[in-house]
Amino acid sequence: MTAIEQTLRDAGIKDIAGVDEAGRGPCAGPLVVAAVILKDPFSPLLSQVRDSKALTAAKRERLYDLIRHESLALSIIEISHEEIDQRGLHKSNLEGFRRAISALGTQPDYVLTDGYPIDGLEMPALGIWKGDQVAISISAASIIAKVYRDRLMIEMDALYPGYGFAAHKGYSSPAHTAAMKKLGISPIHRKSFANVAAILNAH
């Protein structure tokens, strides 16, 4: 998990930011992007950090606080459902990456992003396919983004009861689809998504 960071450190690059998102797939709620510069990517304290999808919710919650404590700098950016509808998902994702990097407070020497390269940064960057599985800095960011977004969707469940947001976090599921058909779409649904648009048109 630290081979990429080790290569960069061997080249004299110190502060490495990992950037990842949570919430590309859901048809409701925001996209959340996190950027993390770890104090020491090789710390034994971080040995259990993995891609957030490979961890249980309880394990992610425990690691969330640890990563925050072990970070030199950390930022979390929300891209609203309205902006996703206006910009499109991919452009919103890239913009979220840029905002998260800018919000770090400490300018990284190098940026590692999950999947997509980011143009126009002031520092060198590398987009890594499945980066959350091979770079600990990206994995740390994936955990921060996932836990933060899951907590948001639990709050949304209280604001908009009946949709099951606490359970499915805005992802499409038979229960979610049935709720939309019964209740109509909520104020946080992404109207540009085909399944939401179909229900809107039916109503």
pTM score of the predicted model: 0.96
| Helices 136-159 and 57-69, axial angle in degrees (round to 10) | 120
Tokens representing 28 are: 């409701």
Residue 41: what residue type? P
Q: Which range (146-150, 157-161, 187-191, 199-203) has the least confidence?
A: 199-203
Tokens representing 83 are: 């902006």
* pLDDT tens per residue across span 137-178: 999 999 999 999 999 999 999 999 999 999 999 999 999 999
- 3-197 folds as Nucleotidyltransferase; domain 5 (3.30.420)
* pLDDT tens per residue across span 19-39: 999 999 999 999 999 999 999
Q: Say yes or no to pLDDT of 203 above 80.
A: no
- Band (pLDDT 50/70/90 cuts) for residue 117 is confident
Residue 180 has what pLDDT?
97
Residue 1 has what pLDDT?
83
Indicate the average pLDDT of the chain.
Answer: 96
Write down the domain spans for the chain.
3-197
- Band (pLDDT 50/70/90 cuts) for residue 120 is confident
Residue 116 has what pLDDT?
85
CB 50 within 8 A of CB 139: yes
CB 29 within 8 A of CB 149: yes
Residue 107 has what pLDDT?
95
Q: Tokens 């891209």 belong to which residue?
A: 79
Tokens representing 120 are: 């126009």
